[in-house]
Amino acid sequence: MTTVLTEIEDETVDAVVPRRPRRRDRGVDPIPWWLIVVGVIVALYFILPTLFVIPMSFSSASTFQFPPKDFSLKLYENFFTNPVWLGSLGNSVLVATLASLLATIVGTAAALGLHQLTGKLAGFVRTLLMVSIVTPSIVIAVAVYISFLQWHLVGSLGGYVLAHAAIGVPFVLVSVTSALGGFDPKLLRASASLGATPLRTFLRVTMPLISRGILTGAIFAFVTSFDEVVIALFLRSPTFQTLPVQMYNSVTVEIDPTIAASSSLVVVAVTIIFLVPQLIGARKRSR
């Protein structure tokens, strides 16, 4: 009996090791040259303005200058020595961290709950949670401002966190929902049959398997909060404002070219943040 088994097993072992299909394997037509040209133009249109600020940030002039005449780190020195800039950066990081944390917990819980539901109710709740993504920021900002005035949340850390968490939830919901699409619900039953409580099952099975979706959602929620300006403008107070609000002030009130340095920093920071899950994913795959 044993020999029979080994023979059969040996034949099948190698055949089933899964390989990620390469793009080329799909047999699609080659991409026409004009499509590549259009793609590059669109990409440049999106990226170039952002890249303009980086050379500008190394200018020594006290007004906006492009192209910069000389190279200096003066604007960066301004940024890192001015307590107003540094303070607002700290506020932004704090608000974005707390807001994305809250949004991740709520969004993940919502995605898990809605995953189990079917029918009209689930669809309705899902749409409701997604509303903030399609609502104009100014509408949300005014609504938040009016209600937070009554609750004395305007200008407070809690107010910023709550408002920004609300606009971050849809991103978490979407990314976790798509991660759950590839999740086998039988694993939950297997885990339960092996003696794990629902909470333990979530921690040891569900969460590790949807961690990329959670992380992606958290990053989107963080970045959304980090560069959110409309709601932040309404909620600002003399004692508490975020970096985007300070940047807005620096242009409209002070005409301070330090904004070039801060913009560059934000671009670099956000780029790094978005690269994190890509790098983690690449490492996991190569394992």
* Residues found near other proteins in the complex (CB under 8 A): 1-2, 4-5, 8-9, 12-13, 15-18, 184, 186-187, 189-198, 200, 204-205, 208-209
Phi, psi angle pair for 266, to nearest 5°: -65, -45
Q: 10 or 29: whose CB is closer to other proteins?
A: 10
| Nearest to other proteins of 133, 187 (CB atom) | 187
Q: Token pair 């794990």 is at which residue?
A: 196
Between 42 and 207, name the residue whose CB sits nearer to other proteins: 207
**Least Å from the CB of residue 162 to other proteins:** 34
* Residue closer to other proteins, measured from CB, 205 or 245: 205
Q: Is the CB of 16 or the CB of 28 nearer to other proteins?
A: 16
| Minimum separation from the CB atom of position 200 to other proteins (A) | 7
When the beta carbons of 5 and 28 are compared against other proteins, the nearer one is 5
In angstroms, give the least distance from the CB of 108 to other proteins. Answer: 17
Label residues 37-69 b or e (16+ Cβ within 10 Å = b): eeeeeeeeeeeeeeeebeebbbbeeeeeeeebe
Could you tell me which of 106, 227, 115 has the C-alpha nearest to residue 170? 106
C-alpha neighbours within 13 Å on the C-beta side of residue 225: 36
Distances (CA, A) of 163 to 93, 127, 285: 15, 19, 37
Q: What Å distances lie between residue 119 and 108, 124, 126, CA to CA? A: 20, 9, 11
User: Of 5 and 134, which CB lies nearer to other proteins in the complex structure?
Assistant: 5
CB of 199 to other proteins, least distance (A): 10
Cα atoms in the 13 Å half-sphere on the side-chain side of 240: 17
From CA 258, how far away is CA 89, in angstroms rounded?
Answer: 13
User: Rounded to the nearest whole angstrom, what is the least distance from the CB of residue 11 to other proteins in the complex?
Assistant: 9
* 69 vs 204, beta carbon nearer other proteins: 204
Q: How far is the CB of 209 from other proteins (least distance, A)?
A: 6
The residue written with tokens 């959602």 in the block is 217
Nearest to 108 by CA among 192, 161, 183: 183
- CB of residue 221 to other proteins, shortest distance in Å: 24
Q: Distance of CA 273 to CAs 70, 102, 270, Å?
A: 30, 18, 5
Q: What DSSP character marks residue 194? A: T
CA distance 102 to 114: 18
Give least dist CB 189 to other proteins, A. 6
